[in-house]
Chains A and B, each alone.
Chain A
Amino acid sequence: MTGSEKLEEDDVPPETTTEDLLRLGDIASGSEQPPAAQPEAPVVFDVRDLSVFYGSFRAVRNVDFEIHQHQVTAFIGPSGCGKTTVLRSFNRMHDLTEGARVEGTLNYHGIDLYGADVNAVEVRRRIGMVFQKPNPFPKSIYDNVAYGPKLAGAKRSELDDIVQRSLEQAALWDEVKDRLKKSALGLSGGQQQRLCIARTVAVEPEVILMDEPCSALDPIATGRIEDLMDEIKAQYTIIIVTHNMQQAARVSDRCAFFTTEVNEQSDTRTGILVEFDATEKMFSNPSDERTENYVTGRFG
């Protein structure tokens, strides 16, 4: 799947159509999406010198890369190297964590996500997230999917369509169409995770962040989610954290390899970005020895 993807240049000017919508207090519907992927995919995220702190502890330091539109970017690396920490800084989830702090610049279409005039709620409307553990609300399947659009101001008459379309996108519609009013907690783990994806796409975000979305699922459910990612990446920009290198190789266009660096003095571990490149190159001919050791299974 990934073999057919072309490698893009990184020097495309940042896309700025959504700039105004992102400003504080402006709750516009984010339905207008930029056109589908062109050979030169525009940059969605431009990350420069990003560090994340928990209190005084620096969890990740000096991360630099760019995320391109309508591509799947995978974060790989051993446990504790800060993949999830970096991912959560993309939609300002760290705001919800006591003591977490982000330094450096994280530009989304040229706007600093951590700028003073950026509304974190509006950021999360555009940058959705699927979590490691399937976390449907204790509501019906229908209400789970309708929840986001309803609160974003969708009309009651539109909800049925939105729910059906979202569930179809998440390849779950056929399995649940006869029990939409039943509790979401009665679904299997794989179905719950696809429901979470449906819930995320229902608010029509531009970016979907996935934090090890398959780690709690069996291989069949994992395969379904991977196929799903391949299908929906034409409409969304996806960033996925995974422990599974085969998964990263299968689904991603670009890959970031993180590892940990031990600070001798304080005996703490800080995550660093080792290499960021096209997935093909990362897995066949990485330029850093540490990446090669990791992807060939000699370490981690």
Chain B
Amino acid sequence: MTTIDLREDADVALHPSSDVRVTTVTMRRRVRNKLATIAMIGAFLVAVIPLGFVLVNVTQQGMKVVTKDFFTNEIPPDTGSADLTNDVLAKYGGTPTTTQQTSSTQLGIGPAIVGTLLTTLGAAVLAIPLGILGAVYLHEYGRKKRLASFIRFMTDVMTGVPSVVMGVFIYSVWVVHYGVDGKSAFAASLALGCLMLPIVVRSSEEMLRLVPDHLREASAALGVRTWRTTTKVVLPAALPGITSGSMLAVARAAGETAPVLFTIGAAYNYNWRFHGGNVSLSQFIYNQAALTGPTALRLAWGAALTLIVIVLVLTLVARAISSRLSIR
């Protein structure tokens, strides 16, 4: 990157202002350019260090436990007590019994992967259509009306609500209401859906805003109703953006812990249904990490790596879809 400057007092025969060679750039300016470049690269590195550290650490720790069966095995129910027993035995010179020692081949998080996919899918089905319809109302119909402004404001407020509050909200209106049966993948989907909704609404509205008004006018001038214009012209034009925005919201929901914590219940075996207790990766990581035993921690690292990969894949899918859909 070279900055070309027109030096005022150029020492050449040319008319001073017509010398455009790089050498006429003043020293001072060149130094400032270098410093700014270094500062930018430095800021980038500082921003990348924590990210890189997390990724490297999780991958290292996670790969130790990940085997072919890790993704399909059911969750060992007694990781905490097994660790405790082994600790006690080790302290008093005993040898760990084989039944209590959990070998690597028996470890697994299959049910948590299923639970994560299930809750995320449920949340997406609940929040994405509603969010897109909300955005269509806000931008195509409500515009500057009082109601639209109010909804827009409340959506912003909702975006800022801590995710744990969403969990407590669903806990109080759904889980408590249904008692023991209340905790389920569906309840977790509700909580995650509440979290996703404002994100989908705002990102979709932003994408609708990017659709030029002249397309709406062109359609209207053909005697087409606003609703048809919206479904046939505006939404198709905004689809790539809406899709990637929604997929990013899904990725965000897949990694959320707090809303799931009070709402999903517990499970060690596969539960493919929305009904009944279930387990998600994020909640599983939280629980295992809290047990602090070596086996529990290994499981948590493995689950963390799996979760990062799932979120990464969702993000890549979002990108692929949006570039595939965009019209050239």
Contact = CB atoms under 8 A, between A and B. Distances in A.
Task: Please provide the 4 A-B residue pairs with the shortest distance between their CB atoms, ordered closest to farther.
Answer: A125-B223, A129-B221, A148-B222, A135-B214
A96 B222 CA distance: 14
A153 to B, nearest CB: 11
Q: Which of A98, A151, A200 has the most CB of B within 10 A?
A: A151
Interface string B204-242: 000000001011111111111100100011001100000
A184 B212 CA distance: 16
Contacts of A148: 222-224
A111 B301 CA distance: 75
Interface in A98-138: 98, 121-126, 128-129, 131, 133, 135-138
Interface of B is mostly: helix
A131 B218 CA distance: 8
B219 A93 contact: no
Contact of B233 (A133, A137, A205): A137
A183 interface: yes
A131 B215 contact: no
Interface of B: 143-144, 212, 214-225, 228, 232-233, 236-237, 327-328
A268 to B, nearest CB: 23
A187 B11 CA distance: 51
Contact of A124 (B144, B215, B222): B222
Given A126-B223, A147-B232, A151-B228, A135 B218 contact: yes
Nearest to B213: A96
Contact of A147 (B216, B222, B225): B222
Contacts of B143: 98
A200 B220 CA distance: 11
A72 interface: no
A198 B143 CA distance: 31
A199 interface: yes
Interface of A: 91, 93, 96, 98, 121-126, 128-129, 131, 133, 135-139, 147-148, 151-152, 183, 185, 196, 199-200, 203, 205
A196 B327 contact: no
A78 B215 CA distance: 27
A183 B222 contact: no
B219 A147 contact: yes
B218 A125 contact: no
B222 A137 contact: no
Contact of A138 (B144, B224, B237): B237
Contact of A137 (B218, B221, B223, B225): B218
B270 to A, nearest CB: 45
A98 B149 CA distance: 15
Contacts of B223: 121-126, 128, 148, 152, 203, 205
